[in-house]
């Protein structure tokens, strides 16, 4: 069997950013999380890569050197046959965000951002664009009186959104990717940006249980699998 055949199952992403350090960080992070990644340093480079490769989604910085910025490239690429685009921007003004969406972007993310949020946004874009059947869509997970909305990365109790810290939200999102399956502490640490300090997962788990569990000593939903890790067991 061709050793590269398994790569066909991975979504292809083009990362376009003139910041060499950020571009390389995104390349490594997305590669570690199941994407095939190609990068470009500006609009001209991106056009050349798109002419040679088929990609499933583009992560595109707005502010780039040269004659064509991210807004202009988005307008040029938009259309039924063009790849979906997630814009990265340091500009947080409402008008700038609207400008990006009007240019044809599928979504936007304001710098600085949490890498985990980038994964959630990309997953949402790909599910919408690829028209995944309803049975395969990511469904909200019920945890007793709470509901974890994976698409929005929100925990709700009735109509109320429960406040989670970024670290708590990342941990719950990581466990929700594989409900009912044990995930090791090291894997959770890597998925939440705590690779250098896996024990931080234990601290966040204690805090998260306090917000969800009726009995934190005998958790129903956020369970410990001794010697192996943690698992999320929704209703």
Within-domain flag for 118: yes
Domain count, the chain: 2
- Between CA 119 and CA 109 the distance in angstroms is 11
Clarify whether residues 21 and 105 are in a common domain: yes
Do 119 and 173 sit in the same domain of this protein?
no
Identify the residue whose tokens are 């790909």. Answer: 126
User: Cβ(41)–Cβ(23) under 8 Å?
Assistant: yes
3-class DSSP string for 58-125:
EEEECCCCCCCCHHHHHHHHCCCCCCCEEEEECCCCHHHHHHHHHCCCCEEEECCCCHHHHHHHHHHH
Tens of pLDDT, residue by residue over 45-55, are 999 999 898 89
Answer yes or no: is 136 within a domain.
no
- Whether 164 and 66 map to the same domain: the answer is no
Q: What's the pLDDT tens digit per position in 166-202?
A: 888 889 988 987 888 888 888 888 777 776 788 889 9
Distance of CA 106 to the CA centre of its chain: 14
Residues 183 and 67 in one domain: no
Task: Say if residue 93 is in the same domain as residue 68.
Answer: yes
Helices (H), the chain: 20-32, 43-52, 70-77, 94-102, 115-129, 166-176, 185-191, 200-212
Name the residue among 137, 162, 139, 136 with its Cα closest to residue 149.
139
Do 51 and 163 lie in one domain? The reply is no
Average pLDDT in the chain: 84
Residue 113 and residue 197 share a domain? no
User: For residue 118, what is the domain's CATH number?
Assistant: 3.40.50.2300
Give the count of beta carbons closer than 10 Å to the beta carbon of residue 145.
10
The total number of residues written for the chain in this structure: 235
Q: What is the pTM of this model?
A: 0.55
Confidence of residue 8 (pLDDT cuts 50, 70, 90): low
CATH of the domain at 189: 1.10.10.10
91: containing domain: 5-129
User: Does residue 117 share a domain with residue 219?
Assistant: no
Domain-ending residue, one of 89, 108, 129: 129
d(CA 99, CA 202): 42
């Amino acid at each position: 069997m061709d050793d590269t055949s398994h790569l066909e199952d991975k979504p292809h992403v083009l990362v376009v950013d003139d910041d060499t350090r950020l571009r390389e960080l995104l390349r490594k992070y997305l590669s570690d999380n199941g994407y095939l990644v190609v990068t470009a340093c500006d609009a001209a480079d991106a056009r050349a890569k798109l002419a040679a490769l088929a990609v499933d989604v583009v992560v595109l910085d707005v502010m780039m050197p040269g004659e064509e910025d991210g807004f202009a490239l988005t307008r040029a690429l938009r259309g039924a046959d063009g790849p979906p685009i997630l814009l990265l921007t340091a500009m947080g003004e409402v008008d700038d965000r609207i400008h990006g969406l009007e240019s044809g972007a599928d979504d936007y993310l304001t710098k600085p951002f949490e890498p985990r949020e980038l994964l959630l946004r990309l997953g949402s874009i790909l599910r919408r664009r690829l028209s995944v059947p309803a049975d395969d869509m990511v469904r909200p997970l019920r945890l007793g009186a709470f509901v974890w909305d994976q698409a929005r990365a929100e925990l709700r109790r009735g109509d109320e959104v429960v406040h989670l810290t970024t670290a708590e939200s990342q941990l719950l999102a990581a466990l929700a990717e594989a409900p009912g399956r044990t995930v090791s502490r090291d894997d959770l640490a890597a998925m939440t940006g705590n690779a250098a300090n896996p024990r931080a997962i234990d601290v966040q788990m204690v805090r998260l249980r306090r917000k969800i569990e009726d009995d934190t000593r005998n958790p129903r939903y956020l369970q410990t699998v001794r010697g192996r890790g943690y698992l999320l067991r929704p209703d």
